[in-house]
Amino acid sequence: MKTARPDVVGFYHEATFSIAYLVIDPTTRQAAIIDPVLDYDEKAGRVSTDFADMLLAEVEKRGLSIAWILDTHPHADHFSAAAYMKEKLGAPTAIGEHVIDVQKLWKDFYNLPDFPADGSQWDRLFAEGDTFQIGELQGRVMFSPGHTLASITYVIGDAAFVHDTLFQPDFGTARADFPGGDAAELYRSIQAILSLPGDTRLFTGHDYQPGGRPVAFESTVDEQTRENIHLKDAPDEATYVKRRNERDGTLPMPKLILHALQVNIRGGRLPEPEDNGRVYLKIPIGVL
């Protein structure tokens, strides 16, 4: 039986090197939005919806009906626009069920005793093996921890959306040194993704354009298996873990991690305004 082939359109958010996706059933014109980005200017403390509005305009231009707004994990380098997209489109939001573990961790870091760390900020929490529909396309969820406690992969027809677990082959694989990250789990998640059929299209969550090359965000299982610079010279888990941990020890934290997690554990919502009507972000000192 021939595997369904969704139309996939990626949109590059240059400020955060992120890619948001429209995943379209060509038969019914139903679609999902994956990992939409809310603009944030950290110097001005300003949030805007320019990128999200561009996605909304594209949805309208293409005559699409949005079935799902999907996050792959709580992002550390940009704000999620999932809540804004739900407000505009009315479509349900979803993320992996282990977001609760991330919420509990960061609730403590931010000292938010009344914060409900129960995943209720999304309409659905996906477990390993859960399925969902986009028109005639069936999606399937793979739990892919290691980069974060909550990372999942969405397999939709012949396409898999692998968040930050894999980058393009010339840039390698995700870091595993965020709170709750684990290089051994990351290796096992990567191997599970690479056990998909060799022609499966893999779509990654970021591209850092090594060497100044043009933006790229699509590869295949076969290409990653042959060419990924962090995998081809790491023949086993122990070697990979050693090299991954050594590399992570040289990397600075993302500049927005402390800004972004307090928004993203809320499903892309800002904290509630305080008694003066202003919204504040908290920056915990020393937790990283």
Residues 58-110 pLDDT 10s: 999 999 999 999 999 999 999 999 999 999 999 999 999 999 999 999 999 99
Beta strands in 157-227 (DSSP E): 159-161, 201-203, 218-220
Does residue 237 have a pLDDT over 90? yes
Residues 201, 155: Cα–Cα separation, whole Å: 10
> Can you give the pLDDT at residue 231?
95
Confidence (pLDDT) at 2? 78
**In this structure, what token pair is assigned to residue 151?**
């990372």
Q: pLDDT confidence of 273, banded at 50, 70, 90? A: very high
What's the average model confidence in pLDDT over 255-284? Answer: 97
pLDDT at 233: 83
Asked whether residue 236 carries a pLDDT value surpassing 70, the answer given is yes
Which domains are seen in the chain, by residue range? 7-256 (3.60.15.10)
The mean pLDDT value of the chain amounts to: 97
Please state at what angle helix 237-248 crosses helix 183-193, rounded to 10 degrees: 120
- Which residue, among 112, 125, 252, has the nearest Cα to 178 in the 3D structure? 252
Q: Is the pLDDT of residue 195 over 90?
A: yes
For residue 182, pLDDT over 80 is answered with: yes
Tell me phi and psi for residue 24, to 5 degrees.
-120, 130
What single letter denotes the amino acid at residue 263? V
pLDDT > 70? residue 24: yes
- Give the residue-averaged pLDDT of 220-232: 97
* Confidence category of residue 219, pLDDT binned at 50, 70, 90: very high
Q: How confident is the model at residue 1 (pLDDT cuts 50, 70, 90)?
A: low
Q: What is the pTM of this model?
A: 0.96
